[in-house]
Amino acid sequence: MPLYICGAGGVGREALDAALAAALDVTAFLDDARAGEKVRGLPVLRPADVHAGDYLVGIAAPTARARLSRILDDLGLRAVTLVHPRAVISPETTLAEGSLIQANAHVSSSVTVGPHVQVHYNATIGHDTRLDARVSVYPGANVSGNVHLCADATVGSGAIVLQGLTVGPGAFVGAGAVVTRDVPADTTVVGSPARPLRRD
């Protein structure tokens, strides 16, 4: 069965790294903007050009992941989960289809990872945490136990989310922020302790 990585940018190429480390053969990248090119020795096709196979969306933006996964699902492709062999996935943790877990990530016990989630290099996810669809946890971030990251939320590089908190749908935790209270939906928080970003 062919395996496609949707997105030939940075995250897509990092997903290819994970696939190669896991001894998986990737057939091509899917990317309308770069169709006809070669990236890392692989052809780049348009999503509409394929009609069967497995795929993983390697794009950072949650909205793009949502749109492209719908397109590929409608074309009859099947989302797969890709885990770098140097990641740690603890017992009683579940990974939904389309998720990407990168090298040196540590996903602790009894964690629920939803569809099309990305946990990047050196990030940690604490016990009993729930990551809903299309959550992104960027490199070096630390998410404590019993946290709920709602759909399309992003935790930036090096950020910390303390125990038992909720980061609302579409919220963005800035790089290096320390989240000490719940984050409302569609809110960007920065700093330590994290506060909503003021837009003047």
Q: Which two tokens stand for residue 156?
A: 């930036």
In a 3-state reduction of DSSP, which class is residue 26?
coil
Q: Residues with Cβ < 8 Å from 148, sequence gap 6 or more?
A: 129, 130, 132, 165, 166, 167
The residue type at 110: S
Torsion, Cα 90 104 10 64, to 10 degrees, reads 20
How far does Cα 123 stand from its chain's mean position? Answer: 11
Residue 116 designated active-site? yes
Q: Which of 51, 84, 106, 116 is catalytic?
A: 116
Nearest to 65 by CA among 20, 106, 6, 139: 6
DSSP letters, 139-171, are TT-EE-TT-EE-TT-EE-TT-EE-TT-EE-TT-
Given a contact cutoff of 8 angstroms between Cβ atoms, the answer to whether 189 and 183 are in contact is yes
Active site residues: 116
